[in-house]
Amino acid sequence: MTGTFVGVTRTIDGSSIARRIRAEVAERVAEAAAVRRVPGLATLLVGDDPASAVYVAAKRRAVREAGMRDVHRHLPEHSTEYEVASVIDELAGRSDVSGILLQLPLPPQLDAAALIDRIPVTKDVDGLTTASLGRLARGERGLRPCTPSGVIELLDAEGIELKGACVAVVGWGELVGRPLTHLLLRRGATVSVAHEFTADLAAVTRPADIVVVATGVRGLVGPEHVRPGATVIDVGIHRTPHGLAGDVRAAELDGIAGRITPVPGGVGPMTIAMLLVNTLRAAEWGAEAAPVPVC
């Protein structure tokens, strides 16, 4: 079954929403700098994966543009777990480093989960430590993973009500789908989750008011999956000879979806904006968590 025309599909402009958030962060950083508390983000890159190098460079640029301190460490491809752990421990102990980002994926000889878990919860700007994910599941204070919080920010910026909304999350990955499910449930949405073993994807997504797709499968979702008028959020990113593409066949949803995020210019810019927000929150949390001097 395919959709019915509902009028003009509105494109959700993630780039401009992200720009606004980044400008707000820069204002807060300037206020913090006035009292000599400049937030700092440390990025740690291990190895020479070209895509990772590009992502880290973009994050560092955004950090500097927001007026934050940019601390960077680059370790060789064949680093041992001890060497990477030592750098994380050093950064964890520095008062001028508010947040630590360990760029993934790591070379295969390294245990990513163990290394991520060395990052203190107050500096975990990616929100991927066991402690942060536990706090997310329990609704306790913590830093939330950047991409799913970017999705929530986009929906909020568009004024889309989450309380009582029916949301289908397609993809149950650790970085996006899983944490997003918790965030949506906390906001009062009714959430259905589909994954690679879901027998009838359309049966899960067609009733939804909002469909979020984060599978890594290019062009997976199209008109057969979307109720006319629904909002579609495309988290997927694929490099193609014609530029970037998503997990959604966006052109086929024109006139069917009520709103849709483009690729590029939708969720992508929000991920970096939320990293800056998390660094600011980490700086505030770290300052609170500082031990009270004993007289």
- Give the chain as a DSSP string: ------SPPEEP-HHHHHHHHHHHHHHHHHHHHHTT---EEEEEEES--HHHHHHHHHHHHHHHHTT-EEEEEEE-TT--HHHHHHHHHHHHT-TT--EEEE-SSPPTTS-HHHHHTTS-GGGBTT--SHHHHHHHHHT-S-PPPHHHHHHHHHHHHTT---TT-EEEEE---TTTHHHHHHHHHHTT-EEEEE-TT-S-HHHHHTT-SEEEE-SS-TT-B-GGG--TT-EEEE---EEETTEEE-SB-GGGGTTTSSEE--SSSSHHHHHHHHHHHHHHHHHHHHHHHSPPPP-
Q: Is 172 annotated among the ligand-binding residues? A: yes
Nearest CB to ligand NAD, comparing residues 22 and 69? 22
Q: Is 173 annotated among the ligand-binding residues? A: yes
Binding site for ligand NAD (CB under 6 A): 147, 170-177, 194-196, 198, 201, 214-217, 220, 235-237, 247, 267-268, 271
Nearest CB to ligand NAD, comparing residues 87 and 146? 146
Query: Is 109 in the active site?
Result: no
The CB-of-60 to ligand NAD minimum distance in angstroms stands at 16
Q: Which of 126, 209, 234, 247 is catalytic?
A: 126
CA distance 32 to 38: 6
The CB-of-198 to ligand NAD minimum distance in angstroms stands at 6
CA distance 79 to 85: 10
The CB-of-277 to ligand NAD minimum distance in angstroms stands at 14
Query: Is 70 in the active site?
Result: no
Nearest CB to ligand NAD, comparing residues 173 and 229? 173
The CB-of-78 to ligand NAD minimum distance in angstroms stands at 25
Nearest CB to ligand NAD, comparing residues 90 and 174? 174
Query: Is 123 in the active site?
Result: no
Residue 180, token pair as written in the block: 């997003």
Q: CB of 151 within 8 A of CB of 134?
A: no
Nearest CB to ligand NAD, comparing residues 121 and 201? 201
The CB-of-281 to ligand NAD minimum distance in angstroms stands at 19
Burial class from Cβ neighbours inside 10 Å (0-12, 13-18, 19+) for residue 244 reads middle
Q: Which of 13, 70, 96, 103 is catalytic?
A: 103
Q: Which residue is nearest to ligand NAD (CB)?
A: 173
Q: List binding-site positions.
A: 171-173, 237
Residues forming the active site: 59, 103, 126
Q: List binding-site positions for NADP(+).
A: 171-173, 237
